[in-house]
Structure 1
């Protein structure tokens, strides 16, 4: 079983790693700033929830199979990169976001851009990221104590702890970035360009993932 002596150092390390600037942080910042607090937090919570899929895979040993198979890993990398590029293209084609009311922007709001949709986008973006697969495969076992037994259960527990702290940090990041979005509500033109910046970030991350070796 997982002990407190395992969880505390794991939690500290997880918080430090999650707070370190990386692709997930950039995506949450981009969505929060361009779409507002509610959608930014939803996307951040989705990214954190995606960690659960990696936890399950690592606990079942599937991640090890993916890591050992160049073909499977390459396929996952290309699919993950293509998905991020698709998200980026959507942002680039946007007519401006930040939840700007139609009367302020002169355009109808996009009714399909909901918190649920952003949550699912964040979950998918994280769940199909092959680098996160490798991260969980290499990170979780370092805090597992075989002598305590039930190794899959230990990894599952640590994965849930990681997900909870990531949800809190990404949610706070989405809230902070959303403050910028609220400012942009009064400046639709600036919101339009921020959507463009967010799109470039997503496309760049997607290309990096798809083309990396």
Structure 2
């Protein structure tokens, strides 16, 4: 196998392990699937995939490493990300007190697919775990001598596979049996999802306090 072949294999394996690990993207698609249905969840999955292109672009250009080495800029990004996850968490908690769960007698109108797409996009772009992963991937795994167009192709591949993975998650969790179970446990599940997002926010804030302290 050629050098590029080994490199592509390493990139694919590292990305597969990263995208399959629980995180904000998974939590968002899970909640969109169970509360709003397949169309909304698939739109968010597509937005998450587009977010991958942003990470890949600044990593290929070396901008990500520069931001990481600029304390003030990196701290600002942490606070913005934490605020966004806190907003998602508050939204999930607030929704748990609205109609749409229990016996399923009432329903909540799903957001427009465009809004769901943007929510997926920003959830991924503002996920510092993803930022650090891509900076490390393109700094350590990908050879600097690899042509830029090949590095760009890696980014497109990861965006497509990410979209496919979260689309599969959306399809699985919008199956009728799973959806019926959600309606019975809607308040509990929404509060659990909200708590997860709030914990992501707290983790970012605490990490910055530790660094700055």
Same fold, judged at TM 0.5 (above): yes
Unaligned residue ranges in structure 1 (runs of 5+): none
How do residues 88-99 of structure 1 correspond to structure 2 at under 5 angstroms?
88-94=89-95, 95-97=98-100
Residue 182 in structure 1 maps to residue 179 in structure 2 = yes
**Paired position in structure 2 for 1:7:** 8
**Pairwise mapping of residues 143-162 of structure 1 onto structure 2 (< 5 A)?**
143-148=141-146, 150=147, 152-162=148-158
Alignment-derived partner of residue 131 in structure 1 = 129
Deviations, residues 106-158 of structure 1 (Å, cap 9, x unaligned): x6x436x122211110101111222322211111243433445x3x3332221
Q: Deviations over 1:169-193 (max 9, x none)?
A: 11111222223663157x4x53233
- The 1:64/1:146 distance shift into structure 2, 3 A limit, reads closer
1:195 and 2:190 aligned: yes
Whole-angstrom CA distance in 1 between matches of 2:14 and 2:133 = 13
Question: How big is each residue's C-alpha offset from its partner over 1:80-103, in whole Å with a ceiling of 9 and x where there is no partner?
Answer: 1100111111121121458x98xx
**Equivalent residues of 1:38, 1:178 under 8 A apart:** no
Provide Cα deviations, 1:50-77, integer angstroms capped at 9, x if missing partner.
1111111112211111110111111001
For 1:123 and 1:130, locate their aligned partners in 2 and report how far apart those are by CA, in whole Å: 13
Q: 1:115 aligns with which of 105, 113, 124?
A: 113
The reply on whether 1:84 has 2:85 as its aligned counterpart is yes
Asked whether the 8 Å contact 1:10–1:143 carries over to 2, the reply is: yes
How far apart are the structure 2 equivalents of 1:41 and 1:97? 20
TM-score, normalised by the number of residues in structure 2:
0.82
- How many residues are treated as equivalent by the alignment? 202
Task: Report the secondary structure of 1:21's partner residue.
Answer: coil
With 36-45 and 170-179 compared, the bigger mean Cα shift is at 36-45
User: Normalising by structure 1, what TM-score?
Assistant: 0.82
Asked whether the equivalents of residues 60 and 138 of structure 2 are also in contact (C-alpha less than 8 Å), the reply is no
Larger deviation, residues 129-138 vs 49-58: 129-138
When the two chains are superposed, the root-mean-square deviation of aligned CA atoms in Å is: 2.6
What runs of 5+ residues in structure 2 fail to find an aligned partner? Answer: 209-213
